[in-house]
Chains A and B, each alone.
Chain A
Amino acid sequence: MQREVGTLPLAPALRARLAAAGFQTAQELLDTGPCGLSKEIGISREEALEALQVVRQECHGDAARTAGGSGTTRKCTALELLEEEQTQGFIITFCSALDNILGGGVQLTKITEICGAPGVGKTQLCMQLAVDVQIPECFGGVAGEAVFIDTEGSFMVDRVVDIAAACVQHCHLIAEAQQEEDHQKALETFSLENILSHIYYFRCRDYTELLAQVYLLPEFLSEHSKVRLVVIDGIAFPFRHDFEDLSLRTRLLNGLAQQLIIIANDHRAAVVLTNQMTTRIGQSQSTLVPALGESWGHAATVRLIFHWDNSQRLATLYKSPSQKESTIAYHITSHGFRDVQPPAVTASTEGTELNPRKRPRTEEEKQ
């Protein structure tokens, strides 16, 4: 109630007038009432009423916060957080080594960033996750939908069809092996058509469209409340050209990061971003580092770096609040993202043939 007038979210012109008229705290405004306010400042009664309603809303929010109730800021003990985290699902990647180093898979409510050189498998992992997020709960998934924001145009529907078909087949095999009721029921809705219909695809051509889309995301996610994954494939690409003013770029990226954190928390969704690598020229050597600069490194909670070692693809967990830094090898097969050695109990098809559409490292032709 003692809140100063200058901190209220009113229009700047109105605030200036209130300050000129001598009002200092919100309580004074509420005591004056709309008619008195309109006479003193010289605005219409309707405008005065609107302003007072805003003030009342703000003060109510403040009071709730100081009383420790449930306001817009969340307050809870670490024990409550622990219980929440333990019941939270992970989005598996179908590569058990990668799931292990991540602590179970891609975590919900966190931002995961995947960096890597071109062709190493970032978009493949994103497409795999967009399918895996839809796995029904009885098979260990989170039964959610996916939003795919593409800035580079590397989303291939045919590839998603392949990955989804392999995933459905895998679930069918599990269901046959375990013979449980709810498995059969879940499989009825887990079909290729359904999976594809629940991947919402947006193609953003430049950073303005990307900004606009992220501003509209909260509304979209409120309408489609089952979305549990937001993928932005290529957050670096629209920001790497046409930017003479680097400070503007940093500001926009930080704003973007904040909005994504809010979206991840409010809607219990996982946010996955892919980043490019750039060369940092040192004194005697040059190294590959993730693009977009140092300050962007703070945006993501978990950072994975994909790289090559001769012809083997490796994934390194570079930054994580709870897991140890480690490196594992993975494979991209025609069924999608997989381990290097398939586990003993496996589907009847081999999983380690190289995808014919994916070029091997020696041949330099690429889609």
Chain B
Amino acid sequence: MAAKKLRRTQLSQEMCERLSRYQITTCQDFLCLSLLELMKVTGQSYYEVQKLLCKVSRACAPKMQTAYEMKLRKSVNPSSAFLSTTLHSLDRVLHGGVPCGSLTEITSPPGCGKTQFCIMLSVLATLPVSMGGLDGAVIYIDTESAFSAERLIEIAANRFPTYYDSDEKLLGMTRSIHLYRELTCCSVLKRIMSLEEEIILKKVKLIIIDSVASVVRKEFDTKLQGNLAERSNFLTRGASVLKYLAEEFSIPVILTNQITTSLSSGPGVRADLVSPADDLSLSE
């Protein structure tokens, strides 16, 4: 929406040409200028410029919905609101399961079972809707090379022996899980940006990123100056794209995180609280 060209708003042709001479071609460029700058650039009076601002704003502002309309839309399709984890107490606490349309973060110290949980959710997502699944493909972005295809088949065959009773069914399931191995922050971000088309093409219903923390902690040493800003920049960009994908396609997005020690401020250095890494930047 921000990159919408001014040509496609209600502005006149000559105005757009005049603005492009000052390198103002998108709505974003236009709205970042102050009123005085706009007057200079467009050559219009104060009141005219305010009207132009309203025109451009209308072209890229979001649509209004009332909370009531949102509720009605949700209640029309209740079964697709959650992906049940098949762990009954967890489902109860989560009010149904992993929610579709938002990001869910799974954190634990190493060895607790995050990757196993992700593999199990991949199996669940490929099941048909009648069995509690999402009947779709899965995109699995693996940064730690921890994904094991054999384990995947083992879980599927043992958990749902009646459904996955033949080799072809198992192979069919594995064909719908798309694994991407990314080892740097840059490649992870590029992959996230390219997901939109993949989701439509492959009918993806679940995105898993295992794990965000490992690439970030490898590349950004927070003790160095400037790294903290770059790290939070990378995380918020990734987060906003993932949120957009989750909301747009109404699918769950699962991220795994690692545990670090948060050192309390004060005399001496004590390992006090244990909190998820990237807590403050990614989790909004």
Contact = CB atoms under 8 A, between A and B. Distances in A.
Given A10-B45, A215-B54, A205 B1 contact: yes
A201 B69 CA distance: 10
B21 to A, nearest CB: 15
Interface residues of A, number: 67
A31 interface: no
B22 interface: no
B46 A215 contact: no
A298 interface: no
B95 interface: yes
Most A C-beta atoms less than 10 A away, residue of B1, B45, B46, B67: B67
Interface string A205-224: 11111011101100110000
Contacts of A366: 104-105, 283
Contacts of A205: 1, 62, 240, 244
A202 B66 CA distance: 9
Interface string B46-63: 111000011011111111
Contacts of B93: 356
A80 to B, nearest CB: 30
Contacts of A278: 232, 280
Interface in B94-141: 94-95, 99, 102, 104-108
B102 A367 contact: yes
A367 B94 CA distance: 8
Contact of A54 (B47, B54, B243): B47
A314 interface: no
Contacts of A287: 265
A196 B71 contact: yes
Interface residues of B, number: 61
23 contacts: A11-B45, A12-B43, A54-B47, A119-B283, A153-B243, A196-B67, A196-B68, A200-B64, A202-B61, A203-B62, A211-B31, A211-B32, A212-B27, A212-B31, A212-B57, A215-B57, A240-B236, A252-B32, A255-B34, A281-B228, A285-B266, A367-B94, A367-B102
B32 A248 contact: yes
A219 B71 contact: no
Contacts of A219: 54
Main DSSP-derived SS at the B contact region: helix
A6 B233 CA distance: 43
Interface of A: 9-14, 54, 117-119, 130, 148, 152-154, 157-158, 160-161, 193, 195-209, 211-213, 215-216, 219-220, 234, 237-238, 240-242, 248, 251-252, 255, 276-279, 281, 285-288, 356-357, 364-367
Nearest to B63: A202
A177 B173 CA distance: 61
Given A10-B45, A118-B283, A276-B284, 8 more contacts: A12-B43, A152-B243, A202-B63, A211-B57, A238-B240, A241-B233, A288-B280, A367-B94
B65 interface: yes
Contacts of A364: 105-108, 276
A329 B211 CA distance: 35
B56 A157 contact: no
Nearest to B105: A366
Contacts of A130: 67
B178 interface: no
A38 to B, nearest CB: 17
A367 B66 contact: no
B67 A199 contact: yes
Given A118-B279, A154-B284, A161-B71, A356 B92 contact: yes
B104 to A, nearest CB: 6
